[in-house]
């Protein structure tokens, strides 16, 4: 049965292979210290934590829709195009009745513009995107709990198997010692003619079997030690176990609904539902509030002027080549 305990640890060990530990390992190991050391130094735990940070960054990106877009722009141009030149003259407040509309001449313009845009409505896509991002954080946190739980189980099983193998070694050493003592007495009796050869041979067979059992137990201990060290990311070496280790705490009333696997699935389902709502928002119009302030100055005309603009902009896709339908199907 002890050999079957090695199989889960062997399968999980590659996923929890660690780099060199940042903190020195303890001199003696018990189950809690082994689990804490593995969780602290596991790259899998760090990856899971980084995924939480990634999900939080996605929420910040989605939350940007709650704020207006502000921009500043500056530019300098020269032109002799009648339409643009006349526009520059008007913007710079340099219009005179003597200007030839067909040939207003060469003009230049230094333009400074400040603009703002705020999305008032877009079919609920922003809210759905934020909801999906929040559920993504929950899913990432649950996934981290799942990784930590798997690592805890793997380390505890490896530790417990190592404890069992060492107890087995001690028991088999005592068995071998007792058989060898009996064998020494049997040989003395055989030499004195008080014991049959078949009885002596039977004890020698028992001694050989006990020695083989001890070698097998020592081999199992070496394998258990290697798995344990690999899970902790430590190089090959000796492992000193504490004389006593606290027993694991078992909940009085386990709540299966709080398992991280189920929490992750629920969060992923909620995120997918929000993504569907976001995609369906493409069928609805968008409404933006826009405002801008503009300053123009001309070197050729010597004039300058400023102006502002404010209003609402409504946009509705009549046909997008089935892009929205494809996004809904993908979501």
- Which residue ranges make up each domain of the chain? 2-62+127-242+259-270, 68-96+103-126+274-330
What CATH code would you report for 68-96+103-126+274-330?
A: 2.20.200.10
Q: At what angle do helices 197-232 and 2-12 cross, to 10 degrees?
A: 20
Query: Which fold does the domain 2-62+127-242+259-270 belong to in CATH?
Result: Outer membrane efflux proteins (OEP) (1.20.1600)
Single pTM value for the model:
0.68
> Would you write out the chain's pLDDT as a tens digit for each of its 331 residues?
444 444 444 444 444 444 444 567 888 888 888 888 888 887 788 888 899 999 999 999 999 999 999 999 999 999 999 899 988 888 888 888 888 878 888 999 999 999 999 999 999 999 999 999 999 999 999 999 999 888 989 999 999 999 999 999 999 999 999 999 988 988 888 888 888 888 889 988 999 999 999 999 999 999 999 988 888 888 888 888 877 766 666 666 666 777 888 999 999 999 999 999 999 999 999 999 999 999 999 988 888 999 999 999 999 989 888 888 898 898 8
Cα separations (Å) of 231 from 120, 268, 317? 53, 29, 55
E-strand ranges in 134-285 read none
Asked if residues 296 and 308 have their Cβ atoms less than 8 Å apart, the reply is no
Closest CA to 29 of 237, 170, 223: 237
């Amino acid at each position: 049965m002890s050999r079957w305990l090695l199989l889960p640890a062997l399968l999980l060990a590659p996923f929890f292979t660690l780099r060199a530990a940042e903190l020195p390992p303890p001199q003696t190991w018990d189950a809690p210290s082994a689990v804490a050391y593995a969780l602290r130094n596991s790259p899998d735990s760090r990856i899971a934590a980084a995924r939480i940070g990634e999900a939080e960054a996605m929420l910040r990106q989605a939350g940007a829709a709650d704020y207006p877009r502000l921009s500043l722009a500056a530019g300098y141009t020269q032109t002799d195009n009648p339409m643009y030149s006349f526009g520059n003259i008007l913007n710079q407040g340099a219009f005179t009745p003597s200007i030839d509309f067909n040939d207003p001449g060469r003009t230049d313009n230094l333009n400074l513009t400040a603009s703002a845009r705020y999305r008032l409505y877009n079919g609920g896509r922003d809210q759905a995107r934020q909801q999906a991002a929040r559920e993504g954080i929950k899913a990432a946190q649950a996934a981290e709990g799942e990784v930590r739980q798997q690592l805890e189980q793997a380390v505890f099983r490896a530790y417990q198997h190592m404890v069992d193998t060492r107890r087995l070694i001690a028991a088999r050493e005592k068995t071998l010692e007792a058989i060898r003592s009996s064998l020494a007495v049997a040989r003395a009796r055989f030499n004195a003619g008080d014991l049959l050869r078949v009885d002596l041979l039977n004890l020698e067979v028992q001694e050989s079997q006990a020695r083989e059992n001890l070698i097998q137990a020592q081999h199992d201990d070496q394998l258990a030690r290697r798995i344990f060290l690999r899970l902790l990311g430590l190089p090959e070496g000796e492992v000193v176990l504490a004389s006593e280790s606290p027993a694991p705490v078992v909940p009085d009333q386990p709540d299966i609904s709080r398992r991280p696997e189920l929490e992750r699935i629920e969060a992923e389902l909620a995120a997918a539902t929000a993504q569907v709502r976001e995609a369906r928002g493409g069928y609805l119009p968008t409404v933006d509030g826009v405002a801008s302030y503009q300053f123009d100055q001309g070197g050729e005309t010597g004039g300058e002027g400023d102006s502002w603009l404010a209003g609402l902009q409504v946009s509705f896709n009549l046909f997008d080549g089935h892009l929205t339908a494809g996004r809904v199907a993908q979501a």
